[in-house]
Amino acid sequence: MDAIYNRLVSLNDELTEATLLNQILDPLSKYYGGIQDETGIARANHMSTPRIIAGWVSAVVNPDSRYYHDSFLLNALDKAVSFMLNRQHADGTISLGSTNYHSPPDTAFVVGGVTQMYQLLHKHDWAEVTPVADKLKLFLERTIPAMLTGGCHTPNHRWVITAALSLLHEIFPQPALLARAEDWLAEGLDMTEDGEWTERSNGIYNAVSDIALYHTGRLMNRPELIECVRRNLRMMMYLIHPTGEVVTDYSGRQDFGQTATMANYFPIYRLMAAYDKDPIFAAMADYAGSFITGFHEGVNNHPLMNMLVYPEADIAQLERAPLLDRYVKVINAQHPMKEHLQQVEEVGHHSQIQHSSMHFTFGAPLVRIRELDQSVTIMSQTPSFFSLRQGKARLLGIKLATSFSPGIVKFADLIVDEGVYKLETVLEKGYNGPIPRHLLRAGTEGSTLSPWYLLPHQHRPMTHSQKLALQAEIMKSGDSEWTVRVASDEREDVFTQVTFIFGNEGTVSGEDLHAGEEGKYFLQSGAMRYEVGGDVIEISSGAYEHKLPILREDSHPAGCQYVHVNLVTPYDRTFKIRLR
């Protein structure tokens, strides 16, 4: 842990030196004192100027930093905090900038960091920092009305706001702050028994919810909140590839399919390791800390500032347990997902919510398998149902698309049966009959003008309902081979495309592999090979039963390579995936 701390101090000093050059010093600019970010301007959101301020505060009060009590840095810090006050709206909020204007949740993210900055400066025995601390306190005080009245967009925003309310209460002991936090907590916690949050965002929002509810639970004496954090951190131990990359194959947020490491989990693993005296959490803190190469987290989750604000969470002497590298872990097998979805109609929101998502895939079962350098994920309710890593070689996913619905198939059910993983779904598509006359809007019947969008389409009866049953069956055959069987029912002539998605870093080859558009190939027969640095994934065998290059309403994001196998129903085909 000392090694991580020393590296964080060094990284922070380097970042401080670099960002001092980006401070806007034109006194006529409305951004005066702010730190220019990637947009070319300075912003007051949690990923922009406040994050840099956190690093500067962590340097100026730290005897181990070369900027300790540096008057030039202190002067720059004062300007930056004044910028925050100048960019704060009259209602106490800040704006995210890319979207979300006068935003209570984005203000709460910033409060989560600024309260820590204030605590560091307020406790520090150096009179010169008092004016900056006072400005930070004023900024926080101004946010209170918005925190007491403001709403949110996403599930995690609720917990970011409760953390902000709790942290504000520590500085401004107003009962209304905790009462408002209780209003949010009264909604209940959105977590499965296995530790999965609603947004299923292993790359970003798990860590956001975890650190927020740690603070809320600690300050409000709510151990059940800490238990949720504990459960998610235990789940995350099974969601890491051998390279340290986090599993993002099924995320419900913007980290879906993106590369992420465990770096943003370092603060919460450290805090929880100290809280629980847990050797495996301590080992995970070390592991997460090893991936920190800069300060890319939001201001509320700044790793060095976290260590300085909470020195009591010292885990240097805590025993370490070995990390997990061999397991088969089924997640959410017992979650009552179907029962919950059956209740949706009763709630009355008609699946409509502004500026957010209903997240109907919450609690969908998945399986994680690790065998040293081999890493497999099997998923239901996602565009891709299988992914595999072997060393450096990445099969990012296998997906199935059909012309029936049309589009990508998301398997509804995942059944685990003695090493065989079965995915099943039944697609249904019918036709809409005429609306019963007594349910038509007054004046509609016989009208020469009847706009389509004014008709009550929800009352149309379905006619000629058609169904298509699909299955995928996955099993391991020895140490270096997997079989993936896909099958349809007997319905004829449904165009189908099986797509194997590979990382862009490798080379794709095969005797009967034909190039389509850039990065897309068709395996018409035989085997194909994907290789990265000596690690090989071989897949057989191909088919080309129709000539469609892509099925309607399917799409392929850039930055990957795609190998397609074209099938027509009925089919029952087994692919062999060999690792070399």
What single string gives the DSSP state of each residue in 205-259?
Answer: HHHHHHHHHHHHHHHHT-HHHHHHHHHHHHHHTTSB-TTSBB--TT-SSTTTT--
What local confidence, expressed as pLDDT, does residue 336 receive? Answer: 78
Both tokens assigned to 402: 């059909």
Token pair belonging to 371: 């065998």
8 Å CB contact between 389 and 374: yes
pLDDT of 184: 94
CB count within 10 Å of CB 11 equals 17
Which of 154, 174, 152, 156 minimizes the C-alpha distance to 165? 174
Which amino acid type is present at position 508? V
pLDDT at 133: 98
Find the DSSP H helices in 21-129: 49-60, 71-87, 104-123
Instruction: Please list the residues that pair with 563 across neighbouring strands.
Output: 500, 521
* E-assigned strand segments in 461-534: 462-476, 481-488, 495-503, 507-509, 513-515, 520-523, 527-532
Q: How confident is the model at residue 313 (pLDDT cuts 50, 70, 90)?
A: very high
Of 551, 558, 559, 525, nearest to 539 by C-alpha is 525
Which pairs from 529-534 meet CB under 8 Å and 24+ separation?
A: 530/393, 530/395, 530/502, 530/506, 530/561, 531/393, 531/506, 531/507, 532/391, 532/392, 532/393, 532/394, 532/503, 532/505, 532/506, 532/507, 533/391, 533/392, 534/391, 534/392
Do 413 and 366 touch, CB atoms closer than 8 A? Answer: no
Whether 105 and 157 have beta carbons less than 8 Å apart is answered as: yes
Query: In whole angstroms, what is the distance from residue 188 CA to residue 300 CA?
Result: 23
> Residue 383: pLDDT above 70?
yes
Q: What is the pLDDT of residues 440-457, one digit of tens each?
A: 887 666 667 888 988 999
Three-state SS for 374?
Answer: strand
* 494 φ, ψ (degrees, to nearest 5): -90, 120
* High-pLDDT (> 70) share of the chain, %: 97
Tell me what pLDDT residue 529 has.
97
Cβ proximity of 105 and 161 under 8 Å: yes
Kindly report the number of other CB atoms within 10 A of residue 441's CB atom: 12
Structure-token pair, residue 211: 């650190």
The per-residue pLDDT for 367 is: 96
Joined together, the tokens standing for residue 255 give 């980290």
**pLDDT at 358 (0 to 100):** 64
140 touches 168 (CB < 8 A): yes
Nearest to 421 by CA among 384, 368, 480, 364: 368
CA pair distance 452, 435, nearest whole angstrom? 12
Q: Residues 6 or more apart from 571 whose CB is under 8 A from it?
A: 486, 487, 488, 496, 545
Q: Average model confidence (pLDDT) for the chain?
A: 93
pLDDT in tens, 405-427: 889 999 999 999 989 999 999 99
Q: Whole-angstrom distance between the N-terminal and C-terminal Cα of the chain?
A: 37
Cβ atoms 97, 154 nearer than 8 A: no
Q: What is the pLDDT of residue 351?
A: 65
Please list the residues that pair with 482 across neighbouring strands.
476, 577
- The percent of residues in the chain predicted with pLDDT above 90, rounded, is 78
Check if the beta carbon of residue 542 is closer than 8 Å to that of residue 567: no
At 442 the pLDDT is 78
User: What residue type is 498 in one-letter code?
Assistant: V
Q: Which domains does the chain possess?
A: 2-326 (1.50.10.100), 373-440+450-579 (no CATH)
In the prediction, which pLDDT does 441 show? 82
Predicted confidence at residue 444, as pLDDT, reads 67
Q: Give the number of residues written for the chain.
A: 580
Q: What pLDDT does 539 receive?
A: 97
Cα 572 to chain center, whole Å? 35
Mean pLDDT of 214-221: 97
In whole angstroms, what is the distance from residue 152 CA to residue 156 CA?
9
Q: Which two tokens stand for residue 350?
A: 């008609």
Task: List the one residue out of 163, 242, 241, 164 whose CA is nearest residue 202.
Answer: 241
Q: Partners of 421 in the beta sheet? A: 416, 474
Element (H, E) at 285: helix 279-289
- The structure tokens 């201001």 sit at 299
Contacts of 407 (CB under 8 A, 6+ apart): 401, 551, 552, 553, 554
Tell me which residue of 490, 507, 481 sits closest to 571, measured CA to CA. 490
pLDDT at position 350 is: 67
Q: How far apart are CA 133 and CA 500, in angstroms?
A: 55
pLDDT higher at 488 or 257: 488
Query: What DSSP designation does 159 have?
Result: H
Question: What average pLDDT score do residues 520-532 get?
Answer: 96
3-state secondary structure of 575: strand
